[in-house]
Amino acid sequence: MNERNLTMLADFYELTMANGFLENDRGNEIAYFDMFFRRVPDNAGYAVMAGVQQLIEYIESLSFTDRDIEYLRSKKLFSEKFLSYLADFKFECDIWAVPEGTPIFPNEPIITVRGPVIQAQFIETMILLTINHQSLIATKANRIVTAAQGRPVMEFGSRRAQGYDGAVYGARAAYIGGCTGTACTISDRDFGVKALGTMAHSWVQLFPTEIDAFRAYAKVYPDSCTFLVDTYSTLKSGVPNAITVFKELEAQGHKGVGIRIDSGDIAYLSKKARKMLNAAGLDYIKIVASNSLDEYLIRDLIVQGAEIDSFGVGERLVTSKSEPVFGGVYKLVAVEENGQIIPKIKISENAAKITNPSHKELWRLFDNATGKAVADVITLADEVIYDSQPYTIFDPEQPYKKTTLTDFTAKKLRVCIFTQGKRVYDSPSIEEIKDYCKNQLDLIWDEVKRFENPHEYYVDLSLPLWKLKQDMLSEFYK
């Protein structure tokens, strides 16, 4: 999106480790790292992958400037050998990733990096930062869009976002998650996320009267005006004045668009406003609601019969206020020795933090009778799941529980993004990603997508991977 060099946006220990790898003659050893997350925010049943395009842009612009080198030299921690390596840095890793817009689930390797350990380790911070943030917002946006039941949702959170990039990339992620547009103008310019907006209370206050304000706005935007009707009194003045100006526009051969309610009892006010508009013959005028909304408030408004045609959602979307952290992690899972993959595992007294070892593949299995996703399966990289052969899904926590599929389609979820540092992936447009997201979520059962107590979607380990993990644990604890 811009010309900033973000190469040095890394945790400092990535650099000290990189220097250490080089000094111990281990910098060129081939390592495999997986990014995955352990739970979905808000205790939800699914998440939405986002941020891959920004990760690609970061990787393609990796380079250490003279200023970077001098800064590191000033720390008096890094060898000249290491600084020379950075000055001539060339990225050489392979990267596989789940495409943006794909529903994703805990413990799945949504990104895998293979390459010289000094490089694969260094990019950890930006992988996590980029994917964690946009996946968080795309997931929250999709929950809000789901709650709206087909009514458009606009992202209005720029002024409350966590910094500039939180606003810009948050708008992008919200669009992937299903929002129709954003108040963030720069996201329209740079990503094609449609910029939308109405007016502020200050516009209304600036004019001698409320109706003067509406008339002035209608004069400039006669076919696209939406009036903010709650500056003084929604029902006593706002809606009546809006009706007057809408009728004046009709007499001039124009049609206004809507009114926006930003405070008060929105369910009650919207129902009253709808009756007033309809009585004036303005049934085509839409009602927009805003004011600190989220998926639960929107759901309640609809249950209460609120007459709302679209929603503007700000701070609770762009910051994912209810749970503002997407806990993706990045772990070493294998190394190569003489061309052979040697699995690695992180062991913990907390069972949830024990990693799945080795280089892996991620599959999604679809029931041919319904077209719906049945389960995801993590296999070793050289395993193949054949549609023509029955496949048995085991519950990793309860291996005695199993389901055998016979009529299904197996698809690999990840695509190759980089090979030996060269990009081999053509990024889809933002519109293509958004449509893909909607289509893919339609393949997930509604029970998985409900807000409370969602059905747990199976993420299974293949039997060879499960046995490898158990053998490594047994070897450690024997």
- Residue-wise pLDDT for 33-58, tens only, equals 999 999 999 999 999 999 999 999 99
Residue-level pLDDT at 4: 82
Residue-level pLDDT at 340: 97
pLDDT at 2 over 60: no
Q: Which two tokens stand for residue 429?
A: 């447009």
- Residue-wise pLDDT for 191-238, tens only, equals 999 999 889 999 999 999 999 999 999 999 999 999 999 999 999 999
- Residue-wise pLDDT for 49-86, tens only, equals 999 999 999 999 999 999 999 999 999 999 999 999 99
**pLDDT grade, residue 103 (50/70/90)?**
very high
Residue-level pLDDT at 397: 65
Residue-level pLDDT at 445: 97
Phi, psi of 12 (to 5 degrees): -60, -30
Residue-level pLDDT at 391: 92
- Arithmetic mean of pLDDT over the chain: 96
- Residue-wise pLDDT for 264-294, tens only, equals 999 999 999 999 999 999 999 999 999 999 9
pLDDT at 358 over 90: yes
The mean per-residue pLDDT over the stretch 362-381 comes to 97
pLDDT at 186 over 70: yes
Q: Which residues contact 431 (CB under 8 A, 6 or more apart)?
A: 192
Lowest mean per-residue pLDDT among 1-5, 21-25, 31-35, 386-390? 1-5
Closest by CA position to 214, among listed 182, 252, 248: 248
pLDDT at 89 over 70: yes
Cβ atoms of 183 and 155 within 8 Å: the answer is yes
Kindly list the structural domains of the chain, giving each domain's residue range(s) and its CATH number in brackets, ordered by start. Answer: 12-137+324-477 (3.20.140.10), 198-291 (3.20.20.70)
Q: What is the 3-state secondary structure (H, E, C) of the chain?
A: CCCCCCCCCCCHHHHHHHHHHHHCCCCCCEEEEEEEECCCHHHCCCEECCCHHHHHHHHHCCCCCHHHHHHHHHCCCCCHHHHHHHHCCCCCCEEEECCCCCEECCCCCCEEEEEEHHHHHHCHHHHHHHHHHHHHHHHHHHHHHHHCCCCCEEECCHHHCCCHHHHHHHHHHHHHCCCCEECCHHHHHHHCCCECCCCCHHHHHHCCCHHHHHHHHHHHCCCCCEEECCCCCHHHHHHHHHHHHHHHHHHCCCCCCEEEECCCCHHHHHHHHHHHHHHCCCCCCEEEECCCCCHHHHHHHHHCCCCCCEEEECHHHHCCCCCCCCCEEEEEEEEEECCEEEECCCCCCCHHHCCCCCCEEEEEEEECCCCCEEEEEEEECCCCCCCCCCEEEEECCEEEEEEEECCEEEEECCEEEEECCEECCCCCCHHHHHHHHHHHHCCCCHHHHCCCCCCCCEEEECHHHHHHHHHHHHHHHC
Cβ atoms of 205 and 172 within 8 Å: the answer is no
pLDDT at 245 over 80: yes
Residue-level pLDDT at 279: 98
**What percent of the chain lies above the pLDDT cut of 70?**
98
pTM, 2 dp: 0.96
The mean per-residue pLDDT over the stretch 305-311 comes to 98
Residue-level pLDDT at 399: 62
Residue-level pLDDT at 1: 44
| Residues paired with 103 in a beta bridge | 48
Q: Among positive and negative, which fits the CA dihedral 357, 360, 366, 372?
A: positive
Q: In what order do the strands lie in the sheet with 310-313?
A: 181-182, 153-155, 310-313, 286-289, 258-261, 226-228
Cβ atoms of 427 and 341 within 8 Å: the answer is no
- Residue-wise pLDDT for 392-449, tens only, equals 887 666 666 788 999 999 999 999 999 999 999 999 999 999 999 999 999 999 999 9
